[in-house]
Structure 1
């Protein structure tokens, strides 16, 4: 499609598409904290609990970049 291979489209989707989805999820967590008036500690706990899985995904790209250089 448009001169790109399936592998190139999948790599683009996984890097930028999932990255955009992670940013959107962080926005949603922040909105939940704001609407619930969680305070500083409550907001921290919400981000820690709900966004902890994203750390592994981001670590995968950092580790891959470190090993490929």
Structure 2
């Protein structure tokens, strides 16, 4: 037991909260990249589409798991 949590709770916390926080930080970095490159609206959309599209699978997995549990 670590900090009063069992292994399953600790793994859930790290995967869900930790990766979620990391994804938000990555979105901030992508936004900064678009801002500093003066990409414009369409360029910013393309940057977010290309660099943040992989995060969609992780979010979809969490939503699907939540829907199946209820």
Q: TM-score range by the shorter chain?
A: over 0.9
TM-score normalised according to structure 1 size: 0.97
- Please say if 1:44 is aligned against 2:45: yes
List runs of 5+ in structure 1 lacking aligned partners: none
- Please say if 1:59 is aligned against 2:60: yes
In structure 1, what is the equivalent of residue 35 of structure 2?
34
In structure 2, what is the equivalent of residue 16 of structure 1?
17
- Please say if 1:5 is aligned against 2:2: no
Q: State the alpha-carbon separation in 2 of the partners of residues 14 and 2 from structure 1.
A: 17
TM-score normalised according to structure 2 size: 0.96
The Cα offsets for residues 34-63 of structure 1, whole Å up to 9 and x where unpaired, read as 000000000000000000000000000000
CA RMSD of aligned residues (A): 0.5
SS at match of 1:2: coil
List runs of 5+ in structure 2 lacking aligned partners: none
Q: State the alpha-carbon separation in 1 of the partners of residues 4 and 43 from structure 2.
A: 48
